Amino acid sequence: MSEAQMKVGQEFPLTIKKMGINGEGIGYFKKTIIFVKGALTDEEVVVQVTKTAPNYSEAVVRKIRKASKNRVVAPCPVYEACGGCQLQHVSYPAQLQFKKDILIQALKKHTNFNTDKMKIRETIGMENPFRYRNKSQFQARMNQNGAIETGLFSADSHKLVPTNDCLVQDERTVQITNSVRDLLNQYGISAYDEASGQGFIRTIVVRVGVVTDEVQLVFITTSENFPKKEEILTEIKALHPEIVSIMQNINREATSLIFGEKTILLDGKTSIDEAIQELHFDLSARAFFQLNPKQTSRLYDEVADALTLTGTEKLVDAYCGVGTIGLSLADKVSEVRGMDVIQEAILDAQNNAAKNGIKNAHYVTGTAEDVFQKWRSEGYTPDVVIVDPPRTGLDASLTQAILSARPKQVVYVSCNPSTLAKDLALFEKRYRIRYLQPVDMFPMTSQVECVVKLTLKSNQKQKIKS
């Protein structure tokens, strides 16, 4: 059936053949692919078309005729409206299998690999797949009664879904958000209105040091002038002595970005302390840090396990962020070098190295491809390269530079199976793909993280010597 024949509002029965990368069900109706939000593999459903396009249609479930054994009742009351999670209606063991399947689908789509012969391990999950996020960013808006509401935007919109809890957040983050919101209402503070650009509070950000129990509160505001500031700060400190850092970030722009450029200290210290695997990190208001500390530790264990180190290796940590991966390996190699485009992250990485007494780690600001090629032109050849790129995957020139440098070991940490598959197709020319290890960093969501071990093929080692 063509797009012209299929119409919005049309209903028909559908059998779901598999699940897609966003957790949606996929079926076929008269040779047209149908994406169905909330449907699971092997389910028989009646769907209603919500969108048509030349090569596919989107639909929603109107009735489930035969439910999957993996279907569960989503525990979150705003799950359907919020869109922050995509898999709460899927049993957790099935979520872990889904994430492995998504990797396999990506490899089949973007490579010629025989996935049956590849070592694709079972996904490493969590004992408790809820309450794992150490940082919340709840939007603030005025409701019809003139009071501030806090919550998250529904999927693909700026419509606020008010909520007093979020089941994937550390409970302390939502409790403090609610407490601060009520306090702001008590003092008559206004919230931002996107249409007019008026109002003061845009977002309330709370970050918890899961190991250290230190808490940071950040007000994202439209101006620096904070009404009733002293009274509000006094009350917050009385209510929440665990908050050791209160910051204000000013964002005047009409943008979907949460943070603006200017951040000022309101009370306490400018950062909080957090620890992963014996290393301590200073987290400033805008510092990037993994949102799931427990699984981050598991992830770094997998990176370390993928390497064979003697203590003499030169290691490059590309897309290093605040330095966490490289610093976790610094005592096992002779030198760590890292780079990132965000200058604040590099400053944090340098401070984190100093904080932990690590003297063999060096960090510079710049794109991974430019910095790596500059080091190569200076005669530097790494033995080990770890890449942890954004969702867009590796820059093509960095891939070529790594292939040219021929480090003996490469570990690829991916957050996007599609770009991972495309990059592995290039690496396979010179590297043996030993295994892929998916790690569930974000339970209840469709996001898939993966650690891949790559070793230089033996015929490539000969080329280096010749």
Q: In this structure, are strands 449-456 and 431-439 parallel, antiparallel, or unpaired?
A: antiparallel
Q: What share of the chain is helix, strand, coil (3-state, %, to 5)?
A: 25, 30, 40
What are phi and psi for residue 223, nearest 5 degrees? -150, 165
Size of the chain in residues: 466
CA 425 to chain CA centroid, nearest Å = 24
Torsional class of 63: left (φ above 0), alpha (ψ -120 to 50), beta (otherwise): beta
- N-to-C CA span, the chain: 60
Asked whether 125 and 440 are in contact (CB, 8 A), the reply is yes
Dist CA 352 CA 364 (whole Å): 14
Q: Crossing angle, helix 417-427 and helix 92-110, to 10 degrees?
A: 40
Distance CA 423, CA 413 (A): 12
Give the three-state DSSP class for 332: helix
With 0-12 / 13-18 / 19 or more C-beta atoms within 10 angstroms meaning exposed / middle / buried, residue 424 is buried
- The residues that are catalytic are 415
**Beta carbons of 243 and 210 less than 8 angstroms apart:** no
